[in-house]
Amino acid sequence: MSTTSYQGLEVLYTREQIAQRVAEMGAQITQDLKGEKLVMVGVLKGAAFFLADLSRAIDADATFDFVATSSYGVGQRSSGAVKLIKDLDQPIEGKNVLVVEDILDTGLTLTYLRKLFLQQKPKSLRIATLLDKPSRRIEKIDADYVGFSIPNLFVIGYGMDYAERYRNLPDICLMPPNHPE
């Protein structure tokens, strides 16, 4: 494992590894769409970078929407309950929806969103997550497309934060243990 020059953080996935995997995911999603249109729904803010890159790796007629939920407050601890802070702008009834998330962790967020979106009767509903932490799961839910499956590590960068910081790191890095708040 290498170390970034940026703040001396340990890199889990380099920008090149991310780009390679995102390209593969985009090709798979394109294939599965079979020429149909797509609505990509990003979960703010963490998924913004992934959605921007993934969307450009998908060869289809795509539009975007965004939702925001409250999950992690300050630091690494989840509050448990999921709350919708920002709803969809456009109805998704009859649409092919791809929910784009940064990390599938306990599964609480995506279980909540999936239920909410299914009530609107989309034509299809799929989930793409860049990272998956299956060992942390509380709700039984799987993504249709997973970038990387990782053990129980807290990661930052490429959209992912610690107390709103580090989202702009180009690589996915490990949060140093015992980091001061």
Binding site for Mg ion (CB under 5 A): 46, 102
Annotated active-site residue in 53, 102, 105, 171: 105
Q: Considering beta carbons, is residue 11 or 108 the nearer one to ligand IMP?
A: 108
Q: Considering beta carbons, is residue 65 or 161 the nearer one to ligand IMP?
A: 161
- How far is Cα 28 from Cα 61, in angstroms, rounded to an integer? 15
- How far is Cα 161 from Cα 79, in angstroms, rounded to an integer? 16
- How far is Cα 96 from Cα 88, in angstroms, rounded to an integer? 14
* Shortest distance (Å) from residue 34 CB to Mg ion: 29
The answer to whether residue 161 is catalytic is no
Q: Considering beta carbons, is residue 39 or 100 the nearer one to ligand IMP?
A: 100
* Shortest distance (Å) from residue 69 CB to ligand IMP: 8
HEC profile of 74-109: CCCCEEEEEEEEECCCCCCCCCEEEEEEEEECCCHH
Amino acid identity for residue 125 in this structure: L
Which residues of the shown chain bind ligand IMP in the complex (CB under 6 A)?
43, 46, 71-72, 78, 101-109, 154-155, 160-161
* Shortest distance (Å) from residue 168 CB to ligand IMP: 14
Catalytic residues, by residue number, are 105
